[in-house]
Structure 1
């Protein structure tokens, strides 16, 4: 029933850019994800926390904290009942509208399967779309051990949410088992999921907010994402001799998705970021690799940014949309660029990674591709990958 406002908001990278991005965390999981993104110093966006639980809201770091459904829940949670979450949002629809108003783009983040996140998120998305705000959802499916009922609630909530968003990124919590060690703590695993949320948001927000040599304005982002259908977003980082090609390959293919690529995409947004040493030849190589992987008549929007802090690293961000619904994209082969499994063939260019040298506390842990982590080695070129799959609205 209340909106709490803090005095300061994270500043924009580019204050001259009129695009305004807001991130709305819905329910306990969404609000925790917002806190994680704020703690990671994600800049250039405004944060909103929406919850029925007044006590949880008091712990939020968000710029705006919106309590909903007080007459229904008396300031408590929604009891894992999505219908209560939905009714709570409808009860305080005007407060949600006030919090969203003025945004050009809104990211909605929530954990699906519970009450508030599952029930209120579609209402928040519907309000955002009524305000003509470009809307992307970033949500998680529950762990399998949380039971069939929670899984069904999540499935229904995602289907309902898809009706009201331009695109939706769905993260499967159970897949964290594939990228963690047995020693991984519960808190560390949840932080890994939150980091995927952060990277998905930053991958798009940086394209809009970071000033570049070749700029992309918000209209470009809207062109690619609005009612985009089945889509893919990927970010690849690389350093070393072949950094441009390596980063581009990792941006368009994901070991975490295994069966999706940008083959056949008809709308593509490419952003290449590097230090002052970024060469024309490298930009051409990376952009050409992406171009060759998509539909021959694809609309391609290109941007480039110089970031002195990157030193030897190149970052390639790709958002691909417009896939044919009847065509299933196939994962390209890694055979030509994956490292050998034979440790004896690893000479000076590779180093072994043990559990002692690669720990989850390392912020770059998820930057190491899955196939390299599982085989216990990485490459001195420091090739990294950060990907998320965008599922279309029905």
Structure 2
């Protein structure tokens, strides 16, 4: 079976502001399937330089196509001015992603307005946003916090990528490459969900499955794991729920989607193992599990397996930042030692989570920014 596109639901991905436009350009150039791409900006020059065909200029009277100047209020006013154009863009969509960078003018100010219009259209709305690097300054980080709080009012879930946490994960690379990595994470967040819906599967997941897990479910966690060789399903599942970018445990989730993609060697036993590892980590007897499975002939390693998990329905006050309990599901009374339940490492408890889908900790999203958070030269 080939990884052939099949339209199941109408999905639109809107990139708002410079960071959002860059992420959409990456998705467009890498041929992410099953979606319609739109780039939206107050800066006409940025729009003109992009190969993405669907372009919306916001607030021609407000900004005259010259951008928002880093002011979220200008970005908001421009989006309000262009409300009718935005309504035409979101019309008819079942699922709408809004990709933006928080902290600047257009993404921070316009994204919540666009999300509100998308929500009113009846679509499932998912935000995918980045938070700025600490070195970008206090003003930009405070803008990001306030913009994210406003965005949360109008989306069903938010994937938040902290650029600082991403930098810790990818190590020391040139700054231009760092921003490209953030674009890649945004792309992966969109593509994982759209592939669940748009790519034909051996065990199918459809839009209704995704909506059941994500619609108005509050906090969510999202992760991807890749492995090959012996115990590949177990190892990929462990990676999906223990990524360095995922600083919160999935323990306590009420709903999960697990999508398993592999080469020709992938088996139902692999699916059993992966779902078992994740279910054990969730540790909730009332857990609702939705899973899909697909064979992808395009994988370079026929023995490779990719496990994707989306977990929702958390108790806001009880999420903790610690390693999950990881164990292969019991198939007999005895197990090899390396499959036995690992001891959980306790770490500090997180602050209450926002209604977000999180790729990194949201601790600093909830707290006010203090002067101690910033180097002296940025205060």
Q: CA deviation at 1:274?
A: 1.1
Query: Residues 390, 162 of structure 1: CA spacing in aligned structure 2 closer, same or farther, 3 A cutoff?
Result: farther
Provide the secondary structure at the position in 2 that maps to 1:50: strand
Query: Residues 18, 63 of structure 1: CA spacing in aligned structure 2 closer, same or farther, 3 A cutoff?
Result: farther
Aligned match of 1:224: 213
Is 1:312 the counterpart of 2:283? The answer is no
Q: CA deviation at 1:139?
A: 0.7
Aligned match of 1:268: 256
Query: Residues 49, 200 of structure 1: CA spacing in aligned structure 2 closer, same or farther, 3 A cutoff?
Result: same
Alpha-carbon deviations, 1:46-87, whole Å to 9, x = none? Answer: 110111111111012223100110101111011111111001
In structure 1, what is the Cα distance between the partners aligned to 2:53 and 2:11?
Answer: 13
Q: CA deviation at 1:220?
A: 0.7
Aligned match of 1:388: 359
State the aligned residue count: 331
In structure 2, what is the Cα distance between the partners aligned to 1:131 and 1:301?
Answer: 27
Instruction: For structure 1, list consecutive stretches of 5 or more residues without a partner in the other structure.
Output: 1-11, 338-386
Q: CA deviation at 1:389?
A: 4.8
Provide the secondary structure at the position in 2 that maps to 1:316: strand
Provide the secondary structure at the position in 1 that maps to 2:34: coil
Instruction: For structure 2, list consecutive stretches of 5 or more residues without a partner in the other structure.
Output: 329-357, 367-379
Q: CA deviation at 1:186?
A: 2.0
Provide the secondary structure at the position in 1 that maps to 2:359: strand
8 Å contact kept, 1:25–1:108: yes
| 1:201-350 pair list within 5 angstroms | 201-258=190-247, 260-294=248-282, 295-310=284-299, 311-332=302-323
What is the aligned-residue RMSD (CA, Å)?
A: 2.3
Query: Residues 78, 169 of structure 1: CA spacing in aligned structure 2 closer, same or farther, 3 A cutoff?
Result: same
In structure 2, what is the Cα distance between the partners aligned to 1:200 and 1:43?
Answer: 13
Aligned match of 1:130: 120
| 1:1-394 pair list within 5 angstroms | 13-15=4-6, 17-182=7-172, 184-258=173-247, 260-294=248-282, 295-310=284-299, 311-332=302-323, 388-389=359-360
TM-score where L is the length of structure 1: 0.80
TM-score where L is the length of structure 2: 0.83
In structure 2, what is the Cα distance between the partners aligned to 1:217 and 1:181?
Answer: 37
Find runs of 4+ consecutive structure 1 residues off by over 6 angstroms: 333-337
